[in-house]
Amino acid sequence: MLIVVFVGVLVEAVIASSGLDLWNAAKEGNLTYVDDALRTGISPNWVNQDDYGYGETALHVSSKFNHPTVISALLEAGAEKDQRDDRGETPIFWASMHGSLDAITRLIESGADLDIPDNWGVTPLMTASYRGHLSSVEAMIDAHANVTLSDNDGYTALHYAAGHNRLSIAQLLLSEGADIRKQDNTGRTPGHLAKDEGYIQLQEIIDGITGATSRKVVYGI
């Protein structure tokens, strides 16, 4: 009986012993464990190169899985808010990809940079537009994310919305001054992408603004 109790105490004492423990607790949203791990001196900026990691920190995974209290604990402990992983993706990029709105809100409050692109030039706003996360797009636009940036293929957030039939997002981007005539690297406007994919309603909205010019524009000019 005494021995069992003693073993229990030992197990308690050795929890939170590695960066990967912290990382996994952040992923699960286990705030108690994250706090314990940080108190034992584990760096909040430990980078996961194990476990099929791509250089993500605990802040990346807690952002992806939408754990705002864990995000706050990590930031208070000195986590780098704009850390880029091996693909150049920041915590807010991950939150945007998954539509993790609470995480996005918390990161914006902490002053995260919304316009840092990944290694392919894709911004958080573009990835949220592509995936159709309207609330995330709204939150980032309210926080002044740049709607006119384009990625390495020349795609803007509006290209991504138009090419994936994200009607409400496209309308929002248009109301925020997204460039309807911006051509990608092969000369295609957002209207072209909507037309190619057969997204009639979206194409009509764009045509309504451009005076139907998108039907006449020739590719490659």
Backbone angles phi, psi at 133, to 5 degrees: -90, 85
What mask, x for binding ligand NAG by CB under 6 A, covers residues 13 to 42?
--x---------x----x-xx---------
Q: From the CB of 123, what's the least distance to ligand NAG, in Å?
A: 10
Number of residues located near ligand NAG, criterion CB under 6 A: 8
Q: Provide the 8-state DSSP code for 179.
A: -
What mask, x for binding ligand NAG by CB under 6 A, covers residues 130 to 159?
----------------x-xx----------
CB 115 within 8 A of CB 145: yes
Structure-token match 């069992």, residue found: 4
Q: From the CB of 32, what's the least distance to ligand NAG, in Å?
A: 6
Contacts of 125 (CB under 8 A, 6+ apart): 96, 114, 115, 137, 140, 141, 145, 146, 147, 149, 157
* 3-class secondary-structure state, position 115: coil
Nearer to ligand NAG, 32 or 135 (CB): 32
- Asked whether position 8 contacts ligand NAG by CB under 6 A, the answer is no
Distance between CA atoms of residues 164 and 39, nearest Å:
45
Q: From the CB of 132, what's the least distance to ligand NAG, in Å?
A: 23
Residues that bind ligand NAG (CB under 6 A): 15, 25, 30, 32-33, 146, 148-149
